[in-house]
């Protein structure tokens, strides 16, 4: 077993009782380095490769659990993942006399109180629960976590490049400040591309002393594409019939790209199965389905060996929740990222020797092209590069309030010092921190009394809200109730009205009442066949995917995964761009002139397209239509020469861009929609957040400056 001998005797005994014949490669590597060095580590290997044990076997061997305080803090992005991993970690610790405690809003309060009285063992927690503890019970943070030896971050890739990751970086920095020793940090991930390791290391707060343990072993994946053109918002009957035939005798996860589509798939496949005397195990699983129903679905899938099932789901089943053996993964229309595709593919073929089976269904030609591009990048082991905001002023505002609340007041010098030393804000200048503090005092978010800063009246409303602990924007959801029983939640929209039908929890319901005060929707079982309303949104596409799409159109590569129908679709796309001679895929772009219309295909990412759209409007260049799905701008009554000249001389548009963004920042503007706390900042910092989160001016300028048309 190679490095088995480095483990402690109790851990060796556990392995012997489990009758493991050998350790997996990533486990062998992790045992060697974690037991013999003091570095932080990112453990990266494919799904179901034993990463959890790779971290815990050496950690359990190293830690002296007789010491006072919690010794190991396991941080997870999902409560469901904590509940799932709890049993796995508890089994590891059962014979080692180590307590394992779940700590989140739904966890047992008696067990939490017991832990506070006698801090020990291992705690499984979410970033939001750490935040809540800092704000509401800072004395518990110190009592529980001032002697941490290890911090283990599961699914660390899910924190990279998002506000939640910046929050986690800040929280870890704050935990290290109160710790008697510096805790070693171990991150676990199945989905980190080579370009993103530095971003993962940033979360630990110590890039130089964080090392990568990488197992590049890749499970063989068998992929097959199917295309069924869909004209309406509903899936075609042909697609559903084929999908039913393809899945009825298997254990399957189906990933559409929205909650509404997820529900449609579950309901309509279930109806086909009923008519065909098939099985009845069709479920939906997403954030709007009630937690107890979701957990019931997970339990059935995990503990069911005999019966086939079909779970139509969103990213709620993309991360590492154990649902047992899955035969096939079905992706309907393209994922928004290659990383997401990697995660989903990894949900099948989890047993040793099994292959991953992936079927990709598409409903229009451009979704097929994007899906093929994502698959092509997956085969090349290319993931989208991710960048974390260098100056997250909105997260600084959030953590500023959290720190002041934690300390019950502090001096200006202490507050500036804590924020500037925090690893999450290392690139923000002290003068900017001071400006934001002074602005917060002027707005009564903070109050300055006798040389001490405390939470102001307006700040109390922010900090005392349950929404404060999370840094991502949550929708205004309405509870969906039948006969007093909650079946889930859904975001309200003007289309949701009394007598309309909705899909939820793999069933069709009719709305009979809406209570706006209590945010409730009363429903009954629908029996009239009326088409339901949909809900759910899209995602942001990286330029790498769009460039790959362009390469597929212009190169003569063959794809054994696509059938005759898909080949015909691809040939049609190639024919449309047959006159465009492109060799430089970074900067050459097709432009098609039809009568008085000029069609500009950017083949670039969502953020750059948003920027171009903003700049075209700024320059009063009339856009006839814009299709993000195709990455297409259409202009009428504009000559090619004029348009080309405009792009070449577009640098002038960037001179007063901050002022132009500021003018566009109206209350209903979508620009700040990606920032939960951005609106509390001075306007110049709001502009900087918009430029980082919503637009990509650097990428747009680079494309406009170097673009060549074909």
Residue with the bigger pLDDT between 534 and 219: it is 219
C-alpha to C-alpha distance for 263 and 667, rounded to whole angstroms: 33
The last residue of one of the domains, among 353, 379, 405, is 379
C-alpha to C-alpha distance for 605 and 628, rounded to whole angstroms: 9
- Residue 478 in any domain: the answer is no
What's the structural domain count of the chain? 4
Out of 199-208, 306-315, 472-481, 691-700, which region has the weakest mean confidence (pLDDT)? 472-481
- The per-residue pLDDT of the chain, averaged, comes to 90
Which CATH number is 87's domain given? Answer: 3.40.50.300
C-alpha to C-alpha distance for 353 and 370, rounded to whole angstroms: 30
Q: What's the confidence (pLDDT) of residue 343? A: 86
Q: Across 91-95, 304-308, 569-573, which has the greatest mean pLDDT?
A: 569-573
Long-range CB contacts (within 8 A, 24+) of 14-20: 14/92, 14/95, 14/96, 15/57, 17/95
Task: For the sheet with 623-627, list strands across it.
Answer: 591-594, 597-601, 632-636, 623-627
Both tokens of residue 16? 């012997």
Alpha helix (H) ranges present in 536-653? 543-554, 564-576, 606-618, 640-648
Shared domain for 664 and 701, answered yes or no, is yes
Shared domain for 191 and 244, answered yes or no, is no
Residue with the bigger pLDDT between 495 and 681: it is 681
Q: What's the confidence (pLDDT) of residue 673? A: 75
- Residue 518 in any domain: the answer is no
CA angle 188, 475, 261 (to 5 degrees): 80
Q: What's the confidence (pLDDT) of residue 306? A: 86
Shared domain for 197 and 298, answered yes or no, is no
Q: What's the confidence (pLDDT) of residue 350? A: 67
Which CATH number is 461's domain given? Answer: 1.10.10.10
- Residue 565 in any domain: the answer is no
The arithmetic mean of pLDDT across residues 231-259, rounded, is 91
> What pLDDT, in 10s, does the model give residues 465-487?
999 999 987 666 788 888 888 88
C-alpha to C-alpha distance for 313 and 438, rounded to whole angstroms: 46
Helix (H) or strand (E) holding 488: strand 485-491
Out of 210-224, 342-356, 536-550, 558-572, which region has the weakest mean confidence (pLDDT)? 342-356
Shared domain for 364 and 262, answered yes or no, is yes
Long-range CB contacts (within 8 A, 24+) of 549-555: 549/369, 549/370, 549/372, 549/373, 549/603, 550/582, 550/585, 550/589, 550/590, 550/603, 551/585, 552/369, 552/372, 552/373, 552/376, 553/369, 553/577, 554/580, 554/582, 554/585
Out of 267-276, 329-338, 655-664, which region has the weakest mean confidence (pLDDT)? 655-664
Q: In the predicted model, is pLDDT for residue 598 greater than 90?
A: yes
Shared domain for 226 and 312, answered yes or no, is yes
Partner residues linked to 130 by β-bridges: none
Q: In the predicted model, is pLDDT for residue 535 greater than 90?
A: no
C-alpha to C-alpha distance for 374 and 548, rounded to whole angstroms: 8
Q: In the predicted model, is pLDDT for residue 195 greater than 80?
A: no
Q: Comparing C-alpha atoms, which of 609, 627, 576, 703 is closest to residue 367?
A: 627
Shared domain for 132 and 162, answered yes or no, is yes
Residue with the bigger pLDDT between 383 and 349: it is 383
The arithmetic mean of pLDDT across residues 159-165, rounded, is 94
pTM for the full predicted model? 0.89
- Residue 535 in any domain: the answer is no
Q: In the predicted model, is pLDDT for residue 542 greater than 90?
A: yes
Alpha helix (H) ranges present in 4-137? 9-18, 25-36, 51-62, 79-93, 109-117, 127-136
Q: What's the confidence (pLDDT) of residue 531? A: 65
Who contacts 174 (Cβ-Cβ below 8 Å, separation ≥6)?
A: 134, 403, 406, 422
The two beta strands, 100-103 and 122-125, are parallel
Partner residues linked to 478 by β-bridges: 490
- Residue 495 in any domain: the answer is no
Q: What's the confidence (pLDDT) of residue 288? A: 82
Shared domain for 266 and 174, answered yes or no, is no
The last residue of one of the domains, among 199, 214, 229, is 214
Shared domain for 225 and 143, answered yes or no, is no
Q: In the predicted model, is pLDDT for residue 599 greater than 90?
A: yes
CA distance readout (Å), 119 to 79, 99, 179, 566: 21, 10, 14, 60
- Residue 162 in any domain: the answer is yes
Shared domain for 148 and 228, answered yes or no, is no
Confidence of residue 536 (pLDDT cuts 50, 70, 90): very low
471 close to 677: Cβ distance less than 8 angstroms:
yes
Shared domain for 354 and 409, answered yes or no, is no
Domain that holds residue 461: 393-468
Q: In the predicted model, is pLDDT for residue 495 greater than 70?
A: no
- Residue 488 in any domain: the answer is no
Shared domain for 32 and 163, answered yes or no, is yes
Task: For the sheet with 520-525, list strands across it.
Answer: 485-491, 477-482, 520-525, 507-515, 501-504
Residue with the bigger pLDDT between 567 and 507: it is 567
Helix (H), strand (E), coil (C) string for 7-26: CCHHHHHHHHHHCCCCCCHH
- Residue 475 in any domain: the answer is no
Shared domain for 429 and 334, answered yes or no, is no
Partner residues linked to 533 by β-bridges: 502
The last residue of one of the domains, among 429, 446, 468, is 468
Who contacts 284 (Cβ-Cβ below 8 Å, separation ≥6)?
A: 262, 263, 265, 266, 267, 311, 312, 313, 503, 504, 505, 506
Q: What's the confidence (pLDDT) of residue 352? A: 66
631 close to 590: Cβ distance less than 8 angstroms:
no
Give residue for tokens 């590891």: 92
């Amino acid at each position: 077993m190679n490095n088995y001998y480095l483990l402690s005797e109790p851990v060796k005994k556990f392995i012997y009782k489990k009758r493991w014949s050998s350790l997996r490669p990533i486990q062998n590597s992790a045992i060697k380095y974690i037991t013999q060095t003091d570095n932080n580590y990112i453990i990266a290997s494919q799904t179901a490769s034993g990463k959890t044990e790779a971290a815990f076997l050496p950690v359990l061997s190293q830690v002296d659990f007789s010491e006072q305080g919690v010794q190991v803090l396991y941080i997870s992005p999902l409560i469901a993942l904590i509940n799932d991993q709890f049993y796995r970690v508890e089994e590891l610790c059962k014979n080692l006399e180590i307590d394992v405690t779940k700590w989140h809003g739904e966890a047992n309060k008696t067990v939490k109180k017991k832990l506070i009285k006698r801090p020990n063992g291992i705690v499984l927690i979410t970033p939001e629960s750490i935040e809540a503890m800092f704000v509401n019970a800072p004395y518990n943070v110190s009592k529980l976590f001032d002697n941490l030896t290890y911090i283990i971050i599961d699914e660390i890739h899910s924190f990279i490049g998002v506000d939640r990751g910046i929050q986690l970086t800040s929280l870890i920095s704050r935990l290290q400040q109160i710790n008697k020793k510096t805790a070693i940090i171990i991150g676990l991930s199945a989905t980190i591309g080579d370009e993103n390791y530095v971003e993962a290391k940033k979360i630990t707060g110590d890039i130089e002393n964080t090392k990568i343990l990488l197992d590049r072993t890749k499970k063989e994946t068998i992929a097959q594409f199917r295309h069924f053109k869909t004209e309406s918002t509903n899936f075609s009957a042909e697609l559903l019939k084929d999908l039913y035939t393809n899945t009825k005798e298997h254990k399957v996860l189906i990933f559409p790209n929205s909650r509404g589509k997820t529900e449609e798939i579950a309901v309509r496949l279930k109806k086909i199965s009923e008519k065909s005397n098939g099985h009845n195990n069709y479920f939906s699983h997403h954030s709007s389905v009630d937690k107890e129903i979701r957990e019931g679905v997970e339990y059935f899938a995990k503990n069911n060996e005999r019966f086939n099932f079909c779970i139509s789901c969103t990213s709620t089943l993309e991360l590492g929740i154990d649902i047992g053996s899955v035969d096939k993964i079905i992706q309907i229309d393209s994922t928004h990222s290659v990383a997401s595709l990697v995660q989903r593919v990894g949900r099948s073929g989890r047993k040793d020797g099994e292959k991953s089976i992936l079927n990709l269904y598409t409903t229009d030609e451009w979704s097929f092209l994007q899906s093929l591009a994502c698959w092509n990048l997956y085969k090349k082991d290319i993931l989208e590069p991710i960048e974390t905001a260098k100056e997250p002023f909105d997260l600084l505002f959030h953590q500023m309030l959290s720190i002041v609340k934690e300390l019950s007041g502090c001096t200006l010098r202490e507050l500036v010092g804590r924020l500037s030393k925090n690893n999450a804000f290392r690139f923000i200048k002290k003068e900017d921190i001071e400006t934001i503090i002074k602005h917060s005092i002027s707005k009564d978010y903070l109050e300055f009394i006798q040389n001490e800063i405390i939470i102001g009246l307006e700040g109390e409303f922010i900090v005392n809200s349950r929404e404060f602990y999370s840094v991502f924007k949550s929708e205004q959801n309405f509870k969906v109730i039948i006969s007093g029983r909650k079946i889930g939640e859904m975001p309200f929209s003007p289309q949701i009205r009394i007598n309309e039908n909705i899909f939820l929890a793999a069933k069709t319901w009719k709305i009979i009442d809406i209570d706006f005060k209590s945010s409730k929707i009363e429903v009954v079982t629908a029996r009239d066949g009326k088409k339901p309303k949909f809900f759910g949104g899209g995602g942001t596409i990286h330029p790498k995917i769009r460039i790959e799409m362009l390469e597929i159109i212009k190169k003569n590569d063959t794809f054994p995964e696509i059938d005759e129908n898909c080949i015909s679709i691809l040939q049609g796309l190639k024919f449309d761009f047959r006159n465009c001679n492109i060799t430089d895929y970074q900067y050459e772009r097709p432009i098609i002139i039809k009568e008085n219309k000029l069609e500009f295909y950017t083949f670039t990412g969502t953020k750059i397209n948003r920027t171009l759209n903003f700049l075209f409007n700024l320059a009063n260049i009339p856009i006839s239509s814009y299709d993000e799905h195709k990455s297409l701008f259409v202009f009428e009554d504009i000559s090619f020469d004029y348009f080309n000249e405009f792009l070449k001389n577009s640098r002038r548009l960037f001179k007063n861009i901050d002022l132009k963004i500021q003018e566009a920042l109206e209350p209903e503007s979508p620009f700040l929609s990606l920032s939960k706390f951005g609106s509390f900042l001075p306007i110049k910092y709001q502009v900087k957040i918009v430029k980082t989160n919503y637009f990509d001016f650097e990428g747009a300028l680079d494309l406009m400056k170097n673009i060549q048309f074909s």
